[in-house]
Amino acid sequence: MRIKFLAATILTIFTLGMVLSVIVIQRHNIQEVDVVAINDLTKKIENNWGQVTAQHVDHIVSQPFSIIDREENVLYRSPASSFTSSFASIKNRDTLIDLQQNNEVVGKLIIQNDAQSIVVRMKRDLIIAVTLILGLLMVVILIYLAIINRTLVKPFQQLQHFAVNVARGDFDRPLTMGKNNYFGAFTESFDLLRDELATARQRAYESNRSKKELVATLSHDIKTPLASIKAVTELMLLQTNDNKVKKHVQTIFSKADQIDLLVTDMFHATLEELQQLKVAVVEVSSTVLREMIENVNFDHNIDYDPIPPCLILTDTTRLQQVLDNIISNAYKYARTKIKIESRIHQDYLEVDIIDFGRGISEAELPLLFNKYYRGQNIAGQNGSGLGLYISKYFIEKMHGQINCYNRTDGFTVAIKIKLAT
Amino acid sequence: MMTKTIISTEKLCKTFSSGGNQQHVLKNLDISIAEGDFTVIMGSSGSGKSTLLYALSGMDKPTLGTIDFAGKNLAKLTQDQAAIFRRNHCGFVFQQIYLLDNMSVFDNILASGLLVTRNKQQLVKKAKALFQQVEIDEGSWSKFPTQLSGGEAQRVGIVRAIINKPKVLFADEPTGALNSAASENVLNVFTTINRAGQSIVLVTHDLKTAVRGNRILYLKDGVINGDLSLGHYHDCEDVERSDKLKHFLAEMGW
């Protein structure tokens, strides 16, 4: 655990600081005044008063010293001595000893006190040591803060973004997070939650769709025998001459026609009930297209130039659905980069969605926008065959046009959106 | 004869939003205005006439689209750049004249002129010539704006607007507050300076004013619904001309 490591580091630094301080203090211990040695020195000087030389006084005391007479003339000074005046010596707390000759003071022995300078040096060394240790501590703490930021704060922020995305209904963006942080397991369960939500939603959507498809398919299927009935009754109407029979057959024909209308209505009503076909056209700035494209540009697989600014007639929700549909088709069937080109031409904003896949066969082209039609290249891809049908329905409701064609290097779906006038 | 285009717009849009509501006042306008033309913009109230005038003259920035005015894209200018551009290339006449009341008529003109040029001598000469052109006699030059009649004041306003030789003179209901005799005088001034080559863009809903223009644009719900070319104005007796205009406006649902 990193906390143990941090505690150990701080403890080590603390101990290091203590040891360093002690060493500093020990190194600068103030020398005691050696009374015996000084007495010895005083005796030697008094005995040789008047002719003190180095050999008499050397090595008796370790401190530097000077000998002066009553007029403060220096009679002798040891090599390291720095005597200036007795006043300065008193200030420096030097040891002053009277030198006597026949019970009369003839001079003074001044033993210099070096405590002051030692204390100054010690203070300096201590400051350096303390600064060093505190600095080291600071560095450790800063590093630790950075680590906390990376392992705690950042993941939390990421988690927040993730939660916002999920709340917005965007289940496609996974939560990427290293497993070696504190939240590894924690965040993994969040990601599981997202997965579950996504599949649950997909399932709900699918069950809804299968219901819708059932009704839609049924109504479509009813239409086939109905068409036969209508055809036969029409034939009978032409063949019979009996007025009574003619009247009955006429009734059958008109009722069959009525059923036909009802079934068609049902088909549309089913889809509309599921909020699938309502189109509310408004005037919006073409800048919304950029957002729409960005909304589906998950892997940055889409290249697009700036959309020419203009005011278009569209239902933004539906147009988004159309773009989603076409782009996901391109993802699904072409699996190449997608390019979107747009230009203003006459009364339309033309948007071409271009992929670089294999396209589809020319024979299938006219069928693409048919209800329930699925191309030959659908192996392994799920779908209902309704996407392009609904897209065309939407675009036409917006007074626009949708077309598609093969190019030598891919497939293009061209949408024309009406400009506001 | 090839005429040069002085202003051209491309997909000009202006949107006002208040709260969550967006109101699209101008929609995808592609307009080009020829140099030397007397263009009149008409339309019912709230159709976007004044908004269009303000956008074309750089007083207001469009929401989308471009405005090419003498080779400059007004949509890209900052406020300060637009102010400098207007000072050098645009003249303005409004229904309210906004002459400075504490300056004489002549000083009002000089003050405008000195914004652009430092040559006072030439400016005075030009101002005198213009005053003559709009028939403001010398006796009125030293008067103060409050001593002028409405028609005179508006003619002074026009002099002020064209003293710096603007590329285009923009007018928003210049005769809206005048009686018919005074408007006739003011309109004559417009016709005169247009004949001398001044490009004019004028917004009005007055027929007598509109008939002076040689091109009528009819704006409806932010879109140009009609574009009528009238040719040059000769005199007020031209019944055929005003009939043509009335017919056009009737067709537009005036």
**Which pLDDT belongs to residue A226?**
85
**pLDDT bracket for residue A383 (50, 70, 90):** low
Terminal-to-terminal C-alpha distance of chain A: 68
Instruction: Tell me the chain B residues in contact with residue A286 when contact means C-beta distances shorter than 8 Å.
Output: 64
Q: Containing domain of residue A53, as a range?
A: 35-113
d(CA A418, CA A399): 6
Query: What mean pLDDT comes out for the span B161-169?
Result: 93
**Which pLDDT belongs to residue A372?**
67
Distance from CA of A413 to the nearest CA of B (A): 25
Query: What mean pLDDT comes out for the span B72-92?
Result: 92
Query: What mean pLDDT comes out for the span A141-168?
Result: 84
Interchain proximity A286–B65, CB inside 8 Å: no
* Cβ neighbour number for residue B216 with a 10 Å cutoff: 22
Distance from CA of A160 to the nearest CA of B (A): 28
**pLDDT bracket for residue A274 (50, 70, 90):** low
d(CA A107, CA A68): 5
Interchain proximity B28–A420, CB inside 8 Å: yes
Residues A329 and A369 in one domain: yes
The chain-wide mean pLDDT, for chain B, equals: 90
Question: Taking 70 as the threshold, does the pLDDT of residue A272 lie above it?
Answer: no
**Which pLDDT belongs to residue A31?**
63
Is A153 within a domain?
A: no
**Which pLDDT belongs to residue A275?**
58
The chain-wide mean pLDDT, for chain A, equals: 82
Question: Taking 90 as the threshold, does the pLDDT of residue B110 lie above it?
Answer: yes
Interchain proximity B13–A419, CB inside 8 Å: no
d(CA A193, CA A174): 11
Question: Taking 80 as the threshold, does the pLDDT of residue A171 lie above it?
Answer: no
* A311 contacts chain B (CB < 8 A): yes
For the domain that residue A396 is a member of, what is the CATH number?
A: 3.30.565.10
Is A242 within a domain?
A: yes
**Exposure on the CB side of residue A303, measured as CA atoms within 13 A:** 7
**pLDDT bracket for residue A382 (50, 70, 90):** low
Instruction: Tell me the chain A residues in contact with residue B22 when contact means C-beta distances shorter than 8 Å.
Output: 284
ipTM of this complex: 0.75
Would you tell me which residues 342-361 of chain A have a C-beta closer than 8 angstroms to some C-beta of chain B? 344
Give percent of chain A with pLDDT exceeding 70. Answer: 91
Residues A198 and A251 in one domain: yes
One-letter amino acid of A113 = N
Encode pLDDT of B216-249 as tens digits.
999 998 999 999 998 888 876 778 888 899 999 9
- Give the range among A118-127, A392-401, B168-177 with minimum mean pLDDT: A118-127
- Give the range among A165-174, B32-41, B147-156 with minimum mean pLDDT: A165-174
**A113, A142, A166 - which closes a domain:** A113
Selecting from B27, B63, B65 the residue whose C-beta is nearest the C-beta of A421 gives B27
User: Which residue in chain B is spatially nearest to A287 when comparing CA positions?
Assistant: B64
d(CA A134, CA A123): 16
Q: How many CB pairs under 8 A join A and B?
A: 36
Residues A409 and A309 in one domain: yes
A71, two tokens: 């007029």
* B167 contacts chain A (CB < 8 A): no
Residues A210 and A240 in one domain: yes
Residues A296 and A376 in one domain: yes
User: Residue A419 gets which letter from DSSP?
Assistant: B
Instruction: Tell me the chain B residues in contact with residue A311 when contact means C-beta distances shorter than 8 Å.
Output: 11, 13, 15, 24, 27-28, 64
Instruction: Tell me the chain A residues in contact with residue B11 when contact means C-beta distances shorter than 8 Å.
Output: 308-311, 344, 419
**A244, A273, A302 - which closes a domain:** A273
* A310 contacts chain B (CB < 8 A): yes
d(CA A323, CA A302): 12
Residues A324 and A399 in one domain: yes
Selecting from B24, B64, B223 the residue whose C-beta is nearest the C-beta of A309 gives B64
Residues A84 and A197 in one domain: no
Residues A208 and A331 in one domain: no
Q: Cβ neighbours of residue A238 under 8 Å, at least 6 residues apart?
A: none
Q: Are strands B5-18 and B32-34 parallel, antiparallel or unpaired?
A: antiparallel
Is A125 within a domain?
A: no
Q: Cβ neighbours of residue B162 under 8 Å, at least 6 residues apart?
A: B91, B130, B169, B193, B198
**A273, A298, A326 - which closes a domain:** A273
Encode pLDDT of A395-408 as tens digits.
998 999 999 999 98
Which domains does chain B carry?
35-49+86-252 (3.40.50.300)
- Give the range among A138-152, A272-286, A344-358, B103-117 with minimum mean pLDDT: A272-286
Is A96 within a domain?
A: yes
**Which pLDDT belongs to residue B56?**
94
Query: What mean pLDDT comes out for the span B44-70?
Result: 91
Q: What is the CA radius of gyration of chain B?
A: 18
Interchain proximity B64–A344, CB inside 8 Å: no
Query: What mean pLDDT comes out for the span A165-187?
Result: 71
**Which range in A70-74, A154-158, A267-271, B42-46 is most confidently predicted, on average pLDDT?**
B42-46
Encode pLDDT of A206-245 as tens digits.
887 788 778 777 777 787 788 888 888 888 888 888 888 8
CB B26 within 8 A of CB B62: yes
Residues A331 and A391 in one domain: yes
CB A110 within 8 A of CB A42: no
Between residues B254 and A193, the one the model is more confident about = A193
Question: Taking 90 as the threshold, does the pLDDT of residue B91 lie above it?
Answer: yes
CB A254 within 8 A of CB A214: no
**Which pLDDT belongs to residue A170?**
73
Residues A289 and A412 in one domain: yes
SS3 B135: coil
Instruction: Tell me the chain A residues in contact with residue B27 when contact means C-beta distances shorter than 8 Å.
Output: 283, 311, 419-421
For the domain that residue A203 is a member of, what is the CATH number?
A: 1.10.287
Number of independent structural domains in chain A: 3
Question: Taking 90 as the threshold, does the pLDDT of residue B145 lie above it?
Answer: yes
Is A191 within a domain?
A: yes
Is A141 within a domain?
A: no
Would you tell me which residues 56-85 of chain A have a C-beta closer than 8 angstroms to some C-beta of chain B? none
Instruction: Tell me the chain A residues in contact with residue B24 when contact means C-beta distances shorter than 8 Å.
Output: 283, 311, 420
**Which pLDDT belongs to residue A148?**
85
**Which pLDDT belongs to residue A379?**
66
Is A232 within a domain?
A: yes
Q: In what order do the strands lie in the sheet with A410-418?
A: A302-304, A338-345, A348-355, A410-418, A401-407
Residues A401 and A315 in one domain: yes
**pLDDT bracket for residue A110 (50, 70, 90):** confident
Residues A215 and A295 in one domain: no
**pLDDT bracket for residue A181 (50, 70, 90):** low
**Which pLDDT belongs to residue B13?**
92
Is A245 within a domain?
A: yes
A140, two tokens: 């450790």
**pLDDT bracket for residue A158 (50, 70, 90):** confident
d(CA A334, CA B129): 74
